[in-house]
Amino acid sequence: MLKLFRYMMKPYWSAVLLVLLFTFFQALSELYLPTLMADIVNVGIVKGDTSFIWRVGGFMLAVAAGGMICSIAASYLASKSASGFGKILRGRVFSHVENFTLQEFDKVGTASLITRTTNDITQVQQVTIMILRMMALAPMMCIGGIIMAVSRDPGLTVVLVAALPVLALAIFIIARKGIPLFKAIQIKIDSLSRVMREGLTGIRVIRSFNRTEHEKARFNDANEDLTQTAIKVNKIMGAMMPVMMLVMNFATLAIVWFGGHRINEGHMMVGDLMAFLQYAMMIMFSLIMVSVMFVMIPRAQASAVRINEVLDMMPEIKDPEEAHQISARKGYIEFDDVTFYYPGAEEPAVSNISFCAGPGEITAIIGGTGSGKSTLISLIPRFYEVSSGRILVDDTDIRDMKQEDLRAKIGFVPQKALLFTGSIADNIRYGKEDATDEEVKHAAEVAQAADFISAMEGGYEAEISQGGGNVSGGQKQRLSIARALVRRPEVYVFDDSFSALDFKTDAKLRAALKEETTESTVLIVAQRVSTVMDADRIIVLDQGRIAGIGTHEELMENSEVYREIVSSQLSEEEIA
């Protein structure tokens, strides 16, 4: 957790110092009050001496008010710096995560990343307030209290010497039982939010397969698990207070008992006994404060570790120290014996891939599901790092280019079309921020999206709801194609982007695309033979390997796998 605090130090260190200062004055005033009172009681007030009462009483009020003001100021500043710290930390984590490659996302998981940036940081933030307030106050009250108590009556401190170890032992036992449970709770919150997330994003699938009950049961299990652990923790923590009150009350009893005897014998004054009682309370309360901190800190520590895990995770794909100059060639792609393993996988997802593609050419990739098509093209924008071989874009190894330069060349349409909350125009402009209205319109027309956009209420200003819920799958695909088109990149990559389109729209779109992309390199991943038939080069993938490469006619002659695909689809169409 200390490691995280360095983020707070820069803008808030003066506030933190002020908190300490105010806390110090607060402690002074609280320590001074019982002494004041004891002196008054010891001296004794003569009946009718109103001016004395006003004078002394006014002074006590002033001291108390001063202490209160200091306490309020300290609390305010502590909350302010802790919230600011939380804000800085959230910003840090978010911008750090934005740099992650897909490899890191696979490792941590989206649900866990979300809990880490929200719940875990809140946890640390809350404890920071407590630390700022109590860490300083508790030792001051404890040490100050002991000094004052001893100065009042050294004899009675024996009672404290007996009571404090009992208190410390109780705290120790409780903390040892509670701390592991707090760590477990954090992990259980993670799994709960994972189940929750799947249940919400997958609601269509769950409904259609009638798995609602199953999902409910899964959620209940996770929920119950979390609840039981939380109950256990609270039981233990619940035991803490009564035990401490018991010890404190017995200590009070003993102090009054022995104090009474000492007063009887004339060793002690009544005021001193009253002051001593209050100091004893302060000392024990400060111990309780410390114990609460001992419980809270490990809990926040568990959160801090999880946050640090994210912050320490360095993206495995880095920009080279010296980026190559971008060469004059535009849009040449060459795969040179590329093999790629997903992290931890035993089998390569794609292996020994070699081919070239140039501007003005359409290269199609076809193959069954799971044959590695998406994997192959996700290597081009360097979402993943190749395991062996190399990929050249414009004669430069992509590892020698800045990722930004590389991706600026590419218009990528992912298999799963994703839209952002905002208007349709905003979504298309995501490809090129400064696109004019004409460019946006043109891109939409080429992507065959113009018709349904103008049919929508508001046209280009129509709002897309979260995750693109208010447009159909095919419409989503066309919008994400328009988003890539507006960029006018050197290389177009379409990952199965025509699958949700009907045959007619598919054909129209490809005809329009062909005119648009005469100077660009186009890579199309597709399932349908009709989509790839007129490509300049077709790559047939089978279990991550190239099973054939050539034009439709060449492949029909040479490739068994391709013929199988073609015949399976033709019969399908004939049936339909």
Footprint of Mg ion (CB under 5 A): 374, 415
Closest approach of Cβ 195 to Mg ion, in Å? 26
Tell me how far CA of residue 208 lies from CA of 202, 469, 561, in angstroms: 10, 17, 34
CB 196, CB 115: distance < 8 Å: no
Tokens of 489: 């990149």
370 or 469: CB nearest ligand ADP? 370
Tell me which of ligand ADP, Mg ion, none is bound by residue 357, counting a contact when its beta carbon lies within the kind-specific cut-off of 5 to 8 angstroms: none
Tell me which of ligand ADP, Mg ion, none is bound by residue 360, counting a contact when its beta carbon lies within the kind-specific cut-off of 5 to 8 angstroms: none
HSE toward the beta carbon, residue 329, CA cutoff 13 A: 14
User: Which window, 10-18, 21-29, 351-359, 363-371, contacts ligand ADP (CB under 6 A)?
Assistant: 363-371
Closest approach of Cβ 544 to ligand ADP, in Å? 7
**Backbone phi, psi, residue 318, to 5°:** -120, 155
Closest CA to 288 of 458, 142, 397: 142
Closest approach of Cβ 374 to ligand ADP, in Å? 3
User: Which window, 285-293, 370-378, 394-402, 500-508, contacts ligand ADP (CB under 6 A)?
Assistant: 370-378
278 or 374: CB nearest ligand ADP? 374
**Cα gap 266→269, rounded to integer Å:** 7
Count of chain residues binding ligand ADP (CB under 6 A): 12
**Cα gap 405→385, rounded to integer Å:** 16
- 342 lies in the site for ligand ADP, by CB under 6 A: yes
Which of 178, 259, 372, 431 binds ligand ADP (CB under 6 A)? It is: 372
DSSP calls for 254-269: HHHHHHHHHHHTTSS-
Which of 58, 202, 360, 370 binds ligand ADP (CB under 6 A)? It is: 370
**Cα gap 51→62, rounded to integer Å:** 16
Assign 3-state DSSP to the chain and report helix, strand, coil percentages, each to 5.
65, 10, 20
Query: Which residue's beta carbon is nearest to the bound Mg ion?
Result: 374
Hey, how many other C-beta atoms are within 10 angstroms of the C-beta on 223?
15
The one-letter amino acid code at 302 reads A
* Residues 114-153 as x/- pattern, contact with ligand ADP by CB under 6 A: ----------------------------------------
User: Which window, 2-10, 173-181, 371-379, 501-509, contacts ligand ADP (CB under 6 A)?
Assistant: 371-379
User: Which window, 84-92, 196-204, 244-252, 373-381, contacts ligand ADP (CB under 6 A)?
Assistant: 373-381
171 or 555: CB nearest ligand ADP? 555
Hey, how many other C-beta atoms are within 10 angstroms of the C-beta on 290?
16
DSSP calls for 195-207: HHHHHHHTHHHHH
**How far is C-alpha 334 from the chain's CA centre?**
37
Tell me which of Mg ion, ligand ADP, none is bound by residue 371, counting a contact when its beta carbon lies within the kind-specific cut-off of 5 to 8 angstroms: ligand ADP
- 351 lies in the site for ligand ADP, by CB under 6 A: no
Tell me how far CA of residue 259 lies from CA of 280, 416, 543, in angstroms: 13, 79, 88
108 phi-psi bin (left φ>0, alpha ψ -120 to 50, beta other): alpha
Closest approach of Cβ 377 to Mg ion, in Å? 9
Closest approach of Cβ 384 to ligand ADP, in Å? 8
Tell me which of Mg ion, ligand ADP, none is bound by residue 372, counting a contact when its beta carbon lies within the kind-specific cut-off of 5 to 8 angstroms: ligand ADP
- 349 lies in the site for ligand ADP, by CB under 6 A: yes
295 or 377: CB nearest Mg ion? 377
7 or 340: CB nearest ligand ADP? 340
CB 279, CB 250: distance < 8 Å: no
Closest approach of Cβ 322 to ligand ADP, in Å? 31
Which of 71, 123, 186, 374 binds ligand ADP (CB under 6 A)? It is: 374
CB 119, CB 126: distance < 8 Å: no
User: Which window, 23-31, 81-89, 364-372, 564-572, contacts ligand ADP (CB under 6 A)?
Assistant: 364-372
- 385 lies in the site for ligand ADP, by CB under 6 A: no
35-56 exposure pattern, b = at least 16 Cβ within 10 A, e = fewer: bbbbebbeeeeeeeeeeeeeeb
- 32 lies in the site for ligand ADP, by CB under 6 A: no
Residue 326 burial class via C-beta count within 10 angstroms: exposed 0-12, middle 13-18, buried 19 and up: middle
User: Which residues, listed in sequence order, are joined to residue 355 by a DSSP beta bridge?
Assistant: 335
Tell me which of Mg ion, ligand ADP, none is bound by residue 375, counting a contact when its beta carbon lies within the kind-specific cut-off of 5 to 8 angstroms: ligand ADP
User: Which window, 27-35, 241-249, 365-373, 564-572, contacts ligand ADP (CB under 6 A)?
Assistant: 365-373
User: Which window, 77-85, 152-160, 369-377, 553-561, contacts ligand ADP (CB under 6 A)?
Assistant: 369-377
CB 122, CB 304: distance < 8 Å: no
Residues that bind ligand ADP (CB under 6 A): 106, 342, 345, 349, 367, 369-375
